Chain A
């Protein structure tokens, strides 16, 4: 089943002055359960592509369909709801809420979804367990290592039961041990629970573990390798 379908997608910055095509006529589809890495040199358009898939950035041309729903014409409010219900985000800099504990950070998105307290509790405990950070549940981000923080971020992304997880350079700030541990967790979730992951990365360790690697250069897909 197609989770994402991009048709002739383009992103043009400064269209009225000096147009820059960050994404140029990209078409691709992502099936449920894929473990996809979007790779390429800095400035090739990886993050822009991810942002457009996530509804954080507007397309200039083409279309973006997520779960069969076209998102380009959604209002800001509809996009917010859409992101909340269907997309999990993992950011390079973790972007956890510093005043909340690991558990509260995970539960926060479920609060936004108005989930009941019991379900929320069970889900956060389960995610903390699966991420291997159950004993860190009451610690704030500043008390966690980078790897632990990114695991919390992944748990938060999964907490809302999204259709897929978009991860922008998730391992960029991690040491190799933390990177391997994080990739193990995500790969396991992908294999066992069929969760779709899409990464933007230029980390070879991530690329090595990906089941599909899409290479971007100057906003154009130059290769799309299924492994």
Chain B
């Protein structure tokens, strides 16, 4: 009956209960929305960097990190290309020959990184062709095609089929220059690539610097999923004497993004929960003070303090039990809505988002466990909110309480 009484007590002041329940539901909904939004934003930044720039795993010569260039090419590259067939978790591999150089147009010249690639392999790893906004993917120009980012093209004031000159150092540290024609202009999701990477065919750069077709200083591997990252790295390490690094080791900012994101989400949750906590305390305190006389009567006729305490706690528990799922469902439906309707379009902030490698369209992302976690957090918050009013209730002296008008 105490359960039933607690339930009925909630509905004594429908408006007040509705307000506190709405506050809990809106709080829960807002956390889900913000967490989904945050996950989507951070996820996009990480994903874009991972898929379109770093890939899951990279292999370099051990000396490459201290002296990136042609001197430290990967050992036994043909074997590295075979990993694809040996390790099932690898989805695609792209061998790259990366050199620093200059690109010059009739208008200006810029310092850049030249990525000499096999177009098909690179497409499989970074999906580079999907970022083309003009021209073609190395097919429209027969001799020395080059891909430039939109940003570089604008700076160089060149268009598709324009000529640019690439200047690099060869293996003997001689300056070599070659004329290339713009095959395509891309806009990558990686700010780093947009800011200073040009793509050539491996064979064209090899010819320019007099190296072989098997000269590579970077191998990038795309895995089927992120789960097998460490396992795959270990497998690779057993098969090569080159340096094998995951994207987390290559770019520590991934960890920073994830940690920062986790902290932000926790802070948001704590702020909302604190607001709810005080809302619940206030509401329950009002409920107790309104029922001072009745609680006094209950104590007088023989209701133990612990049962009064339980009754107040149950009332709060029930409030959270009713309202939290409403917020969870509302949050879930909001996410479903955005998923089914093309995401949340923030194109007006696209420029700012692209600076960080984010997407302009947000697709809410939230782990199912977040719903359960939130439910638990709300219940714990509600129970914490019940403690003070419940203590107030049990400390009422029956006689004094009954005398209250």
User: Chain A residues in contact with chain B, CB under 8 A?
Assistant: 51, 54, 56-57, 76-77, 80-81, 83-85, 89, 91, 93, 95, 97-100, 104, 107-109, 111-113, 156, 160
B399 within 8 A of A: yes
Q: Does B12 contact A (CB under 8 A)?
A: yes
User: Which of B5, B304, B399 touches A77 (beta carbons < 8 Å)?
Assistant: B304
* Nearest-neighbor residue (CB-CB) of B306 within chain A: A77
Contact of A95 among B1, B8, B402 (CB under 8 A): B402
Report chain A residues within 8 Å CB of B302. Answer: 80-81, 83-85, 109, 112-113, 160
Give the dominant DSSP class at B's interface: helix
Contact B304 A109 (CB under 8 A): no
If A81-B302, A111-B2 touch, whether A91 touches B297 (CB-CB below 8 Å) is: yes
B2 touches A56 (CB 8 A): no
The yes or no answer to B95 lying at the interface (CB within 8 A) is no
Residues of A within 8 A of B293 (CB): 93, 95
Which of the four size classes fits the interface of chain B? 20 to 34
B8 touches A100 (CB 8 A): yes
Closest 10 CB pairs of A and B: A84-B302, A99-B8, A95-B297, A111-B1, A56-B399, A83-B302, A57-B399, A80-B304, A112-B303, A56-B398
C-alpha spacing A111/B298, complex, angstroms: 12
B residues whose Cβ falls under 8 Å from a Cβ of A? 1-2, 4-5, 8-9, 11-12, 293-294, 297-305, 307, 398-399, 402
- The chain B residue sitting closest to A156, CB to CB, is B301
- Asked if B304 contacts A51 (CB within 8 A), the reply is no
* Choice from A93, A99, A107, A160 contacting B9 with Cβ under 8 Å: A99
- Report the separation of the CA atoms of residues A91 and B303 in the bound assembly, to the nearest whole angstrom: 16
Q: Whole-angstrom distance from the CB of A28 to the nearest CB of chain B? A: 21
- Chain B min CB distance to A53 (Å): 13
Q: Which chain A positions have C-beta within 8 A of B304? A: 77, 80, 112
B297 to chain A, nearest CB (A): 4
CB distance from B200 to the nearest CB of A (A): 80
Query: Which residues of B sit under 8 angstroms from A83, Cβ to Cβ?
Result: 300-302
Q: List 27 A-B contacts (CB under 8 A).
A: A54-B300, A56-B300, A56-B398, A76-B305, A80-B302, A80-B303, A80-B305, A81-B302, A83-B300, A84-B303, A85-B302, A89-B301, A95-B293, A95-B297, A97-B298, A99-B9, A99-B11, A104-B1, A104-B4, A107-B1, A109-B301, A111-B1, A111-B2, A112-B302, A112-B307, A113-B302, A160-B302
Residues of chain B lying within 8 A (CB to CB) of residue A91: 297, 402
Tell me the complex Cα distance, A33–B398, Å.
27
Known: A80-B299, A107-B1. 4 other contacts (CB 8 A): A54-B300, A85-B302, A93-B293, A99-B12
Q: What is the CA–CA distance of A51 and B401 in the complex, to the nearest angstrom? A: 13
Report the nearest A residue to B9, measured CB to CB. Answer: A99
Contact partners of B305 in chain A: CB under 8 A: 76-77, 80
B88 to chain A, nearest CB (A): 64
Distance between Cα atoms of A100 and B2 in the complex (Å): 11
Task: Tell me if B301 and A84 are in contact (CB < 8 A).
Answer: yes
Residues of chain B contacted by A100 (CB below 8 angstroms): 5, 8
Contacts of B11 in A (CB 8 A): 99
CB distance from A82 to the nearest CB of B (A): 8
A76 CB contacts on chain B under 8 angstroms:
305
Q: Give complex CA distance A57, B296 in Å.
A: 13
Q: How far is the CA of A8 from the CA of B302 in the complex (A)?
A: 27
A51 to B304, CA, bound (A): 18
* Contact partners of B12 in chain A: CB under 8 A: 98-99
How long is the Cα–Cα vector from A76 to B299 in the complex, in angstroms? 10
Chain A min CB distance to B404 (Å)? 11
Identity of the chain A residue whose Cβ is nearest the Cβ of B7 in the assembled complex: A99
Bound-state CA distance A54–B402 (Å) is 13
The chain A residue with its CB closest to the CB of B12 is A99
Most buried by A among B2, B9, B11, B297: B297
Residues of A contacting B402 with CB < 8 Å?
56, 91, 95
Chain A hits for B2, CB < 8 A? 111
- Name A86's closest neighbour in chain B (CB-CB): B302
B8 touches A89 (CB 8 A): no
Q: Which residues of B contact A85 (CB under 8 A)?
A: 302
Nearest A-chain residue to B298, judged by Cβ: A97
Minimum C-beta distance from B247 to chain A (A): 60
Q: Which residues of B contact A97 (CB under 8 A)?
A: 5, 294, 298
Please give me the residue from chain B that is nearest to A157 by CB atom. B301
Cα distance A99–B298 in the bound complex, in angstroms: 14
Residues of B within 8 Å of A112, CB to CB, are 301-304, 307
**B399: which A residues are within 8 A, CB to CB?**
51, 56-57
A143 to chain B, nearest CB (A): 15
Instruction: State A83–B297 Cα separation when bound (angstroms).
Output: 12
Complex Cα–Cα for A56 and B9 (A): 25
Could you tell me the distance between the alpha carbons of A77 and B305 in the complex, rounded to whole angstroms? 8
Q: Which chain A residues lie closer than 8 Å to B307 at the CB level?
A: 112
The interface residues of chain B lying within 8 Å CB-to-CB of A160 are: 301-302
